[in-house]
Homo-oligomer: A and B are copies of this chain.
Amino acid sequence: MRSTMVEKVDVAVIGGGPAGMTAASRIKRLKPELRVAVFERSGYVSYAPCGLPYYLGGLVDSLEHLVHYPVRVFTEERGIEVYTRTEVVEVGDGYLRARDASGERTYEWGKLLIATGARPKVPPVEGVDLEGVFTLRVLEDGEKARRYLEKATRVAVVGGGYIGLEVAENLVRAGKTVLLFEVLDHVFPAVDPDMALLVEKELARNGVELHLGEGLKGIHGRDRVESLETTKGEYKVDAVFIATGVAPETRLAEKLGVKKGSTGALSVDKSMRTNVDDVYAAGDVAEALNLVTGKNDWFPLAPVANKMGYVAGAAMAGLKAEFPGAVGTSITKVFGLEVGRAGLTTARAQQEGFDPVSVMINANSKASYYPGSSAMSVKLIADRRTGQLLGGQIIGGDGVLARLNSLAVLLSFRARVEDAFFSDLGYAPPFSPVWDPIVTAARVLLGKIREA
């Protein structure tokens, strides 16, 4: 019976992550009379998968803490229909079919938001389906992994990006022996190799067994993980975390005829409209403008997703709203180091046709005489011809976000190195040297550009 019923909603949102829930909330706020329904595969909406590594390490003791708002806030307070544990299995012109434990149902929609996010990329090798192999996407993944880890002592992490690094740190925190495998020569390709080196030292200092330049060949075991095979050897491990990047979850959208951009994510205009009438996309599934290059790019990061959702919601409610773009700002903690980056790396700047020139300086996080000051390394990259600031990377014991955020705003205004030098950043002995590390780096970079 139930599967033959057809419900009509004004707006259907596929995906209850940051973009989807922000958009749905915005629409109901602006147009309370609209019927808005959100379909989410997992058991949670408005969740913070970024917190999962800390749940594994025990810093966060309950998954409930990773939920920004429970479902009832959206349903009762905001009047949004939320269908969790519900998978959209088909989507077509003006309708979709959703399946939950009780069966299937068809919904007709006036407008559709695709907020399906990104999914972990899993290398196509033998054994990735074995028990004891994990990826972290939805909260349930964290729950399963944490339970499994109780009986694991040696754990492999495959992939040295954000998630791999955060998982490695937290596994060490949980008392595991951790082997980190990265197919490239350095961890963390979001920063230049000279900066990645600092991260690698910190990993080693904290007991992570680092395997660089080793690709995953397979995972072996009878019923569950027993070993991991790479291009260089085989390692006995009890569990494996795969963190080899993410890909936009575009499959449903493609069936609707939504076009992808050059990054592989969905192509949208500034109001989050796709090429298909009344179909919008926001969050990790969609592209956004890179304010440094002026070209479309892909930023699968929660703050960007939230803002895209906010714009999509406003636009779907009939307001003029535009998402200007992003600069790829991100930060992570790797044991005692804070690692931030924004804009382009040197390699990426070259690919984009810039003529990158860079400096790396060492500074103190606070006035050198103030207790608790720690060492900080700042790398700034600019275009030699125009002096445009292209990107930067900051690694230190504390105070990294303060420098990163100033850099991020500078980049979004397409600032020149000179603008960075003249930035009027906050100073007092407990917070900064009188020449802020960003200002110092800009001063040195200015000199290098002028001499050239």
Q: Which A residues are closer than 8 A to B by beta carbons?
A: 18, 48, 50-51, 54, 59-60, 65-66, 68, 162, 166, 291, 301-304, 306-307, 310, 323-324, 326-333, 338, 340, 342, 367-371, 399, 401-406, 408-413, 415, 419, 421-432, 434-436, 439, 443
Contact = CB atoms under 8 A, between A and B. Distances in A.
Contact of A331 (B48, B328, B368, B426): B426
The 5 closest A-B pairs by CB, nearest first: A65-B369, A331-B426, A401-B402, A409-B409, A405-B406
Given A51-B367, A403-B405, A409-B410, 5 more contacts: A302-B427, A342-B426, A401-B431, A406-B408, A406-B409
B424 A412 contact: yes
A412 B408 contact: no
Contacts of A421: 307
Contacts of A301: 427
A428 B291 CA distance: 21
A66 B368 CA distance: 9
B426 A408 contact: yes
A83 to B, nearest CB: 23
B303 A429 contact: no
A226 B404 CA distance: 50
- Listed residue (A291, A413, A432, A436) with the most chain B CB atoms within 10 angstroms of its CB: A413
A426 B340 contact: yes
A217 to B, nearest CB: 31
15 contacts: A48-B429, A51-B429, A54-B369, A54-B430, A59-B371, A68-B434, A162-B428, A302-B434, A307-B422, A329-B425, A330-B428, A331-B426, A399-B401, A401-B426, A403-B405
Contacts of A338: 431
A299 to B, nearest CB: 8
Contacts of A304: 424
A52 to B, nearest CB: 10
Given A401-B402, A409-B409, A50 B426 contact: no
B439 A425 contact: no
Contact of A426 (B307, B371, B404): B404
B330 A427 contact: yes
A331 B401 contact: no
B408 A425 contact: yes
Contacts of A326: 424
A368 B59 CA distance: 12
Nearest to A431: B401
Nearest to A369: B65
Contacts of A330: 426-428
Nearest to A433: B68
Contact of A402 (B306, B402, B434): B402
Contact of A424 (B68, B399, B408, B426): B408
Given A48-B367, A66-B369, A370-B59, A405 B428 contact: no
Contacts of A65: 368-369
Nearest to A65: B369
A18 B406 CA distance: 23
A401 B432 contact: yes
A400 to B, nearest CB: 8
A166 B427 CA distance: 14
Contact of A431 (B66, B331, B410, B429): B331
B423 A409 contact: yes
A377 B444 CA distance: 35
A406 B408 CA distance: 8
Contacts of A430: 54, 333
Given A48-B367, A434-B306, A408 B423 contact: yes
- Listed residue (A331, A422, A435) with the most chain B CB atoms within 10 angstroms of its CB: A422
B331 A427 contact: yes
Given A18-B434, A338-B431, A406-B405, A369 B423 contact: no
Contact of A54 (B18, B404, B429, B434): B429
A86 B108 CA distance: 85
Contacts of A408: 406, 423-426
B303 A422 contact: no
Nearest to A333: B430
Nearest to A343: B424
Contacts of A291: 424
